[in-house]
Structure 1
Amino acid sequence: MRRTVLEQFPAGGPRGSRPAEEFAAARRGEGMPAEVVMDLERDAFLVVVPQQPADRAH
Structure 2
Amino acid sequence: MSSRARPKAEVAGGMSAKVLERFPAGAPRGSWPAEEFAARRRAEGEPATVVMDLKEDAFLVVVPAPEDD
Fold conserved between structures, TM > 0.5: yes
User: Quick one: which amino acid aligns to residue 24 of structure 1?
Assistant: A
1:42 aligned partner: 56
User: TM-score, normalised to structure 1's length?
Assistant: 0.89
Which aligned runs of 4 or more in structure 1 are off by greater than 3 angstroms?
none
User: TM-score, normalised to structure 2's length?
Assistant: 0.75
1:15 aligned partner: 29
Q: Deviations over 1:14-33 (max 9, x none)?
A: 00000000000000000000
RMSD (Å), alpha carbons: 1.3
How many pairs does the alignment contain?
Answer: 55
Unaligned runs of 5+ in 2: 1-14
User: Quick one: which amino acid aligns to residue 55 of structure 2?
Assistant: E
**Structure with more contact order per residue of length (Cα contacts < 8 Å, sep ≥ 6):** 1
Unaligned runs of 5+ in 1: none
In 2: Cα distance, 1:26 partner to 1:52 partner: 21
Q: Does 1:27 align with 2:48?
A: no
Q: Between the two proteins, what is the percent identity of the paired residues?
A: 69
